[in-house]
Amino acid sequence: MPEFQNQGVGSALIGHTKQLAAKAGYPAIALFGNSGYYRRFGFRPGEEYAITDSEGNFCEALLVMELARGALEGVSGRLCENPVFHVKDEDAAEFDKTFPRKQKQALPSQLFLGNGTVRPMPGDDFEGIYAIINDAARAYKGIIPGDCWHEPYLSRGELCGQIENGAVFYGYYVNGLPVGVMGIQDRGEVNLIRHIYVRTVCRKLGIGGKLLGVPGVRCG
């Protein structure tokens, strides 16, 4: 729960899990999760141990930690999730309809940075666009001259105006949640990139480059 974050609860749970797994005789722990969070506990990319997902792919979110040095030497294989986790997006969407509508969001430690997809952002993701731009813009506070900086950096009114003037937004989605946005506006010979922002917790993971790879984007 948000009010109990940054109090060592997660660290205590991971430490206890390591003890239980070691006591049970397991050589290692493997999971899917936020690499930025789990790496500080000793987890490494599964690729370093030749361990893939169930389809034989390496992905950044597949993480492994040996419980004893060399425990996985000469070992390779696939991490297969329990079928209970295999939920279709459309089934999840139907289930969500049984609750009052809310804007989907995730706390930084909850973001699953696996293989994402780039796709156009629908109008009902307006708040997601607004939140990502203003979250990412904080990195420039103190760099942008004080007389040009304001909070929020981009107001809802300004964003609405850009969309009304033809700006189209693409998002980088992970588990159905946008973590990066790019706004482009057709100027004839070139597309003007109005925005390209990535959530602070997801920076330096190549997401901006993937957004720039949208087919048909002509920069100049």
The structure tokens listed for 16 are 């206890």
Model-level pTM greater than 0.75? no
Helix H or strand E segment including 35 = helix 35-38
The structure tokens listed for 45 are 């990319």
Per-residue pLDDT tens, the chain, 220 aa: give them.
667 777 888 899 999 999 999 999 999 999 988 777 788 899 999 999 999 988 888 888 899 999 988 889 888 899 988 888 888 878 888 888 899 877 666 665 556 555 678 999 887 789 889 999 999 988 888 888 888 888 888 899 999 999 988 889 999 988 778 889 999 888 777 778 888 999 887 887 788 888 988 765 555 4
CA distances from 143 to 10, 138, 149 (A): 34, 10, 9
Report whether 112 contacts 33 (CB < 8 A): yes
Q: Rounded distance, CA 29 to CA 68, Å?
A: 11
Domains of the chain: 2-84 (3.40.630.30), 116-212 (3.40.630.30)
The structure tokens listed for 121 are 């952002």
Q: Rounded distance, CA 33 to CA 218, Å?
A: 35
